[in-house]
A and B are shown apart, each in its own frame.
Chain A
């Protein structure tokens, strides 16, 4: 039963807790072979944290553990923890031991006492099981029975020494209510906080009716840790501490692959589509077709055969699908094949953190590559104003880390000016691509306009396009700018048809002109030809004339010579012409 333990020097200094996020905050877990104090108010999750620490040790780290319960009956704890899917009954056989150390209700006290008995008993159990981890849950219950501060301190010291002596990774939980600085209840633990090697404080408060849980590592000797409060939720598999990406973490591989937005024209505007793994924010007033645009994206993703999840906070999944069918986006067939998962979260309330954790776990379960959250502004509902921004950051961080292409829609407050363009979550600064949809009210019409406000790393069109919804789908049309005015809808159509008519008239006129020119050309050609003929005739005539003249002159000369010869006249006869 004795475990093969590595030599002291090689022993890893941290005992992983298996709690998502916490091991990142503390760079590995709780200090191994040392003591940790976990403080928190009622219902802050101390026992769950402690139990998860032991379960992880027993299941994954081959470190059997002992749970010393001062407050709750072990049977009760096992029952309570059964909801997290930890196989406690199975583990209890060999690797997990629950010690019921509750002071009995009929316990009578007379004078001071100490915990030597318990520690002696535990030492037996530790040796028997080869236990490496131990939890003292609700130590304050026993400490409260001790008469004075000196006795309390002595017992805590005894416990601390005992843990060190047995090289156990110890976790001591204790209640402490309210704000840490002002609480007088903390007085009894302040020496404890100095004594232990690591102190973790769990905080549970309610903001406007929404529960917010926070975890903070107060101290951690000999280790770096994240000092900020980190929100956490108690989810279906235990603790889930939300953390932003820690500095040391390697960047995730970025992709240059483009994925279609589902609207052909939008893809060309973006120079090929969204980047794979990018996050896209679609903002706009109610009814500006945000859902439609994100639906188009989901459909395109499904057509590529990618697992997609559509989270709708506005309406039921079936409603969304029906509504999208009216604009030619058919999602139901993909839902039937399991490629698409519709999540209706209309009635969900709770902290933004809880929502994020749920979305995350659902997306992981579905192995989603594309995710739509419609609208993401739900996260900043009442009670979440302070935390929502952090949640949005982590949402984006998580989607990037997992390589999920994320499309979020966000409702813009009707009152907020478009110029400021700020979304309540300030997600717009984080988004890679920001598409803004708005209305243009003109000539008794309300038309949808779409523009790309930013798109990181892609050349994108700076033009406003008109977004047209029809039963055949979503199309984008150029808008008309005439005389400094943007025309959309009917005005655009009128302008277009006027242009078409003008074009036609123009064309006809051009053709007429050409025909008449052709005719003129023909006439001229004919004239050129006849003139050439005439010219030729004249030339012939001229040649003939020349020839006749020559022959006549020759004839005359010959005649004269002949006559001279005949007359026998002398040379000095004047020449006749």
Chain B
């Protein structure tokens, strides 16, 4: 059910999709949604880590939405979020999920195909 919700989201945002050539990466908008569980240690860390990452690699081309599953549990249920923190990369497509505190940047870079640029 979570997947369906995400697909809908992609469909809605698809008009803004841009050509996905590596050279164009820097000009693209990165759309994140971070599911956290209130002020738990992992969640606080994840928020800090994501903010740090974006500042370093994606300045001015990112958007972060933070969803607190304790306040909006129904949303977590509908979106199929069972592990917190979970980062959902909504754009650019495809939709991907990264679970954890995001303490390691390498998986994040690989997921966003930013590896070569960062190096």
Contact = CB atoms under 8 A, between A and B. Distances in A.
Q: Is the pairing of A and B real?
A: yes
A549 to B, nearest CB: 156
Contacts of A118: 76, 81-84
Contact of A123 (B73, B80, B98, B100): B73
A116 B98 contact: no
Contacts of B64: none
Contact of B99 (A100, A120, A121, A145): A145
A113 B84 contact: yes
Interface string B97-117: 111111111011001000000
B84 A116 contact: yes
Given A108-B107, A111-B49, A112-B42, A117 B83 contact: yes
B contacts with A: majority SS: mixed
A182 interface: no
A113 B85 contact: yes
Contact of A124 (B35, B77, B100): B77
A305 interface: no
A115 interface: yes
A114 interface: yes
Nearest to A100: B80
Contact of B96 (A101, A108, A115, A142): A108
Given A110-B100, A111-B49, A120 B70 contact: yes
Interface in A128-145: 142, 145
B37 A110 contact: no
A113 B43 CA distance: 8
A106 interface: yes
Contact of B100 (A111, A117, A125): A111
Contact of A117 (B82, B101, B104): B82
Contacts of A101: 82
B46 interface: yes
A108 B104 contact: no
A117 B108 contact: no
A107 interface: yes
B99 A110 contact: yes
A113 B69 contact: no
Given A116-B40, A121-B82, A110 B69 contact: no
A220 to B, nearest CB: 30
Nearest to B68: A120
B45 interface: yes
Contacts of B81: 117-118, 121
Nearest to B71: A120
B47 interface: no
B65 to A, nearest CB: 15
- Among B43, B49, B100, the one with the most A-chain Cβ atoms within 10 Å of its Cβ is B100
B27 interface: no
A22 B96 CA distance: 44
Given A103-B83, A115-B84, A121 B77 contact: yes
A123 B74 CA distance: 9
A116 B77 contact: no
Contacts of B98: 107-110
Contact of B37 (A104, A106, A120, A122): A120
A356 to B, nearest CB: 42
B6 to A, nearest CB: 11
Interface in B35-94: 35, 37-38, 40, 42-43, 45-46, 49, 69-70, 73-74, 76-77, 80-86
Given A108-B97, A109-B99, A142-B83, A114 B42 contact: yes
A125 B82 CA distance: 13
Contacts of B70: 116, 120
Contact of A113 (B42, B76, B107): B42
Given A104-B97, A106-B97, A121-B69, A113 B83 contact: yes
Nearest to A117: B84
Nearest to A124: B73
A120 B84 CA distance: 10
A108 B111 contact: yes
B16 to A, nearest CB: 23
A118 B37 CA distance: 10
A114 B69 contact: no
Contacts of A99: 82
Contacts of A125: 77
- Among B40, B74, B76, B103, the one with the most A-chain Cβ atoms within 10 Å of its Cβ is B76
A114 B77 CA distance: 15
Contact of A110 (B73, B74, B104): B104
A282 to B, nearest CB: 61
A520 to B, nearest CB: 121
Contacts of A124: 73-74, 77
A82 B115 CA distance: 48
23 contacts: A103-B99, A106-B96, A107-B97, A108-B97, A108-B111, A110-B99, A110-B103, A112-B100, A113-B84, A113-B86, A113-B99, A113-B100, A114-B37, A115-B84, A116-B70, A117-B76, A117-B84, A118-B84, A120-B70, A121-B77, A122-B77, A142-B83, A145-B83
Given A114-B37, A122-B77, 4 more contacts: A114-B83, A117-B76, A117-B82, A117-B84
User: Which 8 residue pairs are nearest across A and B when measured between Cβ atoms?
Assistant: A116-B37, A111-B101, A118-B82, A111-B103, A111-B100, A117-B84, A121-B77, A120-B73
Interface of B: 35, 37-38, 40, 42-43, 45-46, 49, 69-70, 73-74, 76-77, 80-86, 96-105, 107-108, 111
